[in-house]
Chains A and B, each alone.
Chain A
């Protein structure tokens, strides 16, 4: 949500430097004038789904001084502060902190709470996706198994002939494992390439439509997922080969030849 480097940037935010929320229109700008003071935009935030999206983060000390200068008739310039972002220590209690600020009744929006809520939602979403993936994998194995069974069945007479000239069951098993392994390898490669081509637009879509952090797509990410795609497809193909081969290998050469449809 907030990039890791933002912590250091906020800690070292100098006077006159600001960080803009994602909804603040800063396109093409390098600086903004706030309360007649030129501010340099040093970066922008990723979408958070909170008030931060519409906010500008800057040094509160500078803002206090600017408020005094710009609103001299206001005896209490701090009363014009409508919003403040406060970073608490990790284990600090929000309620205890609020109690310590006397005379201010603040409406608290905790980024940490938002983060936890968002993390829970992402976790649930991930679980659903994982389950969906498992179901898809099982369906794939069934579909590929059926397809391979049909492919073997169409060649059952040929398989019977190979057995009759002396091919052993293990040689037959190896032959089909290699054949279907090659199918798995090539389909995994091309499938993963298509996936790689689609991942850019998909991440852009997620980034623009959903409030959730998205992975950084670089060459390393691409290569890892390309290899992963090939390995998973290969595994699926090999798993799918086993059942049709076991069924086929039960038949005697004579049964294969008489059952063949060619």
Chain B
């Protein structure tokens, strides 16, 4: 069991005179599926990056089981990220010089379970024919699936997904959402950022973000 608490977190980027995220509070516990809806530029991704330990907030705290993650040393924060947070970037991020399988193995090496079955994930994401290909040889949808498979290779406790269905056809988008939904059963937490209301369901803890302000729907 874990708890990630976001306390009065704000973000103001240097050079900008407005706050991208304004004093947001949120609690994420194991088994939660949280969705954050909002228009482009409303601050969803910034909030997600801050709760993932990838972007230090201008003020406020992000607490992991009561401990402020941004007060950790850089090394400790890196290790915290590797074990606890799987971040699905809006744009596909993979190591271009490695094949899909190698990317997954690399990702697994940083994760919680070094024996996790990579082949099962390859099959789950329909990447059998693409596993030995470089990311540059894949289509947008295949790259997206490969990236999600890489994130799950680490077996993280929280999956932060920023528009995970981008580039995917409706069949694969539904499958991915089902895979993410299944993670709840394994006591993982999912934070989904989307502007697509199709993926919002009643069993999710729903938030709406508008002009940097976070409100529970």
Contacts and interface: CB of A to CB of B under 8 A. Distances in A.
Interface of A: 157-158, 160-170, 252-254, 257, 262
Interface stretch (B75-83, B113-121, B164-172, B173-181): B75-83
B110 A167 contact: yes
Nearest to A262: B96
Contact of B93 (A168, A252, A257): A257
A254 B55 contact: yes
Interface string B82-126: 110001010001111000000000110011000000000000000
Given A253-B54, A254-B54, A254-B55, A165 B79 contact: no
A170 B75 contact: yes
Given A163-B78, A165-B154, A252-B54, 17 more contacts: A158-B93, A160-B93, A161-B89, A162-B95, A164-B52, A164-B54, A165-B81, A165-B82, A166-B78, A166-B82, A166-B110, A168-B75, A169-B74, A169-B75, A169-B78, A170-B75, A254-B55
A252 B56 contact: yes
B81 A166 contact: yes
A161 B74 CA distance: 16
Contacts of A257: 89, 93
Given A158-B96, A160-B93, A161-B95, A168 B54 contact: no
B193 to A, nearest CB: 15
B49 interface: yes
B4 to A, nearest CB: 16
A165 B94 contact: no
Interface of B: 49, 52, 54-56, 74-75, 78-79, 81-83, 87, 89, 93-96, 106-107, 110-111, 150, 154
B93 A164 contact: yes
Given A169-B78, A252-B54, A164 B87 contact: yes
A251 B56 CA distance: 12
The 6 closest A-B pairs by CB, nearest first: A166-B82, A161-B93, A166-B110, A168-B78, A254-B55, A254-B54
Contacts of A169: 74-75, 78
Contacts of B52: 164
A166 B75 contact: no
Contacts of A157: 93
A162 B79 CA distance: 12
A172 B81 CA distance: 15
Contacts of B82: 165-167
Contact of A158 (B49, B79, B87, B95): B95
Contact of A166 (B55, B79, B95, B150): B79
Contacts of A161: 89, 93-95
B21 to A, nearest CB: 13
A167 to B, nearest CB: 7
Nearest to A160: B93
A220 B11 CA distance: 65
B74 A168 contact: yes
Nearest to A158: B95
Contacts of B111: 166
27 contacts: A158-B95, A160-B93, A161-B89, A161-B93, A161-B95, A164-B81, A164-B89, A164-B93, A165-B107, A165-B150, A165-B154, A166-B81, A166-B110, A166-B111, A166-B154, A167-B82, A167-B110, A168-B74, A168-B75, A169-B75, A169-B78, A170-B75, A252-B56, A254-B49, A254-B54, A257-B93, A262-B96
